[in-house]
């Protein structure tokens, strides 16, 4: 398959691995930001192939994992309403709130639908004028442009029965939070390729300078990941803290200006709760006042809903790279994909789920 097979070439991967071994003189801790990268690393066993001195820790870049519990609770309340068609990316349906998930709401009669694009939700709203159609707008900068576009089009066409439940988050503030933590061990980052495709990597340059860390925008295939790790190791060994792109076929320094524009038109920066981590200032996006009519929280008056996490779940430490999933006492015991305590065990991009599915350590 073109543009995939080249980046899964075992011989090429072995060559880069040899180069990483040759360049590495000491222990380095590198964080891959994106859950998609974590998934690919564990699935392909890249962590098993790296020299012991290179430690990969897994970042907070799983949109499902970091969506705060109160957003889930609000979604459950809205989705259960008779007049609502609640639409969402598939991953969100299995995320447990404090007592149920969206699948259970669906089984109790709620009209909950899995979509691939928020623009499809807008179409459902056009086709069902007597219903209220709500889209669960979660995700990082990757999902923000399409979510913004849906709201923008709804406003332009005057589609009043459409709204979005927003829980958008952004990567750079989370990186700053991790690097500022006294527990931080991260010395270099693989930046999330698809986030950088939208935002470019210019905004990472101040982070690299300020915290003296190399940052490498990296793709998702094994060869992409190994190339990103190699570049990070090279910079660490040379004492450089720059941003160097290793996902050139997708990412440019300035990113996708059109996408950035629509995000800026519809959303504004806000403080945001991250599930398991807590409040990160300036880390979220909220609808601008001009689009308040499309804010599902206001429309259905669920802003006041609060919720508390399971005290057993340590996903916050996992999401910040402080703890590996199998270092959690509940991992594969109280917490499994069938009975997840936290969202990191739910999403296909969650680090705990990746460890559970592909490498439960007790056999491999």
Partner 1 sequence: MTIAPLCPAPIMQHETVQMAHGAGGRLSQALMQRLFMPHLHNPFLDLLDDQAKLDLPPGRVAFTTDSYVVSPVFFPGGNIGELAVNGTVNDLAVGGARPIYLSAGFVIEEGFSLAELETIVKSMAEAARKAGVMIVAGDTKVVGKGQCDRIFINTSGIGVISEGLKLSCCNLQPGDSIILSGTVGDHGMAIMTSREGLSFQSRITSDCGALNGMTAAMLEAVPTIHAMRDPTRGGVAATLNELAVSSGVGIAINETAIPVKEDVRGACELLGIDPLHVANEGKLVVAVAPADASKVLEVMRSSEHGRDAVIIGTVVVDHPGMVVMNTAFGSRRIIDLPLGEQLPRIC
Contacts of 230 (CB under 8 A, 6+ apart): 16, 19, 20, 23
Looking at residues 4 to 23 of the shown chain, list those that interact with partner 1 (rule: CB under 8 A).
Answer: 4, 8, 10, 13-14
Residue 4 or residue 306: which is nearer to partner 1 going by CB? 4
**Residue in 60, 139, 255, 316 binding partner 1, rule: CB under 8 A:** 139
Question: Can you read off the two tokens belonging to residue 165?
Answer: 């439940």
Rule CB under 8 A: say whether 91 interacts with partner 1.
yes
In 3D space, the residue among 344, 362, 285 whose CA is nearest the CA of residue 96 turns out to be 344
**Residue in 25, 48, 98, 180 binding partner 1, rule: CB under 8 A:** 48
Rule CB under 8 A: say whether 55 interacts with partner 1.
no
Rule CB under 8 A: say whether 116 interacts with partner 1.
yes
Rule CB under 8 A: say whether 214 interacts with partner 1.
no
**Residue in 37, 38, 71, 142 binding partner 1, rule: CB under 8 A:** 142
Task: Report helix, strand or coil for 125.
Answer: helix
What is the chain's length? 364
Shortest approach of partner 1 to residue 180 CB, angstroms? 26
Establish how many alpha carbons lie within 13 A of residue 211's alpha carbon, considering only the half-sphere containing its beta carbon. Answer: 24
Contacts of 348 (CB under 8 A, 6+ apart): 39, 91
Shortest approach of partner 1 to residue 112 CB, angstroms? 12
Rule CB under 8 A: say whether 1 interacts with partner 1.
yes
For the chain, the distance separating the N- and C-terminal CA atoms, rounded to the nearest angstrom, is 30
- For 87, list phi and psi in degrees, rounded to 5: -120, 145
Asked if 127 and 50 count as a contact pair (C-beta separation under 8 A), the reply is no
Q: Distance between CA 28 and CA 38 in Å, rounded? A: 17
Residue 317 or residue 357: which is nearer to partner 1 going by CB? 357
Q: How many residues contact partner 1, by CB under 8 A?
A: 48
Q: Distance between CA 207 and CA 179 in Å, rounded? A: 9
Rule CB under 8 A: say whether 127 interacts with partner 1.
no
Stretch that binds partner 1, among 25-33, 133-141, 292-300, 327-335 (CB under 8 A): 133-141
Stretch that binds partner 1, among 110-118, 160-168, 297-305, 326-334 (CB under 8 A): 110-118
Asked if 41 and 356 count as a contact pair (C-beta separation under 8 A), the reply is no
Rule CB under 8 A: say whether 68 interacts with partner 1.
no
Rule CB under 8 A: say whether 360 interacts with partner 1.
yes
Q: Distance between CA 329 and CA 42 in Å, rounded? A: 20
Q: Distance between CA 62 and CA 222 in Å, rounded? A: 19
For 18, 233, 284, 342, the CA distances from 65, given in Å and listed in that order, are 34, 28, 15, 8
Rule CB under 8 A: say whether 269 interacts with partner 1.
no
Rule CB under 8 A: say whether 140 interacts with partner 1.
yes
Rule CB under 8 A: say whether 250 interacts with partner 1.
no
Which positions touch partner 1 (CB under 8 A)?
A: 1, 4, 8, 10, 13-14, 36, 42-46, 48-49, 63-64, 89-94, 103, 113-117, 120, 138-140, 142-143, 194, 222, 337-338, 347-349, 356-360, 363-364
């Amino acid at each position: 398959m073109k543009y995939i097979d080249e980046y899964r070439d075992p011989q090429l991967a072995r060559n880069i691995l040899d180069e990483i071994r040759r360049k590495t003189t000491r222990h380095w801790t590198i964080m891959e930001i994106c859950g998609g990268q974590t998934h690919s690393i564990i699935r392909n066993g890249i962590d098993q192939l790296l020299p012991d001195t290179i430690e990969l820790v897994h970042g907070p870049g799983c949109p499902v994992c970091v969506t705060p519990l109160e957003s889930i609770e609000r979604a459950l309340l809205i989705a259960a309403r008779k007049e609502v068609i609640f639409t969402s990316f598939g991953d969100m349906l299995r995320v447990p709130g404090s007592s149920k998930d969206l699948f259970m709401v669906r089984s109790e009669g709620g009209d909950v639908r899995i979509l691939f694009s928020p623009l499809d939700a807008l179409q459902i709203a056009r086709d069902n004028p007597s219903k209220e159609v709500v889209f669960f707008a979660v995700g990082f900068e990757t999902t923000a442009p399409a979510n913004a576009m849906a709201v923008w089009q709804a406003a332009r066409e005057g589609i009043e029965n459409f709204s979005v439940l927003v829980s958008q988050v952004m990567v750079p503030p989370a990186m700053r939070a991790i690097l500022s933590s006294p527990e931080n061990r991260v010395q270099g980052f693989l930046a999330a390729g698809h986030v950088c495709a939208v935002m470019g990597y210019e905004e990472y340059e101040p982070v690299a300078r300020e915290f003296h860390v190399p940052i490498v925008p990296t793709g998702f295939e094994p060869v992409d990941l190994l190339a990103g790790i190699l570049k990070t190791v090279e910079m660490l060994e040379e004492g450089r803290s720059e941003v160097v792109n290793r996902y050139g076929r997708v990412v440019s320094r300035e990113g996708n200006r059109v996408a950035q524009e629509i995000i800026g038109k519809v959303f504004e920066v806000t403080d945001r709760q991250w599930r398991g981590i807590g409040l990160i200032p300036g880390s979220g996006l909220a609808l601008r006042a001009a689009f308040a009519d499309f804010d599902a929280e206001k429309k259905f008056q669920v802003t006041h809903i609060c919720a508390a996490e399971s005290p057993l779940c340590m996903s916050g430490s996992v999401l910040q790279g402080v703890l590996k999933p199998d270092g959690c006492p509940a991992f594969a015991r109280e917490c499994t994909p069938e009975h997840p305590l936290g969202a990191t065990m739910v999403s296909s991009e969650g680090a705990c789920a990746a460890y559970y599915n592909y490498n439960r350590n007790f056999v491999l």
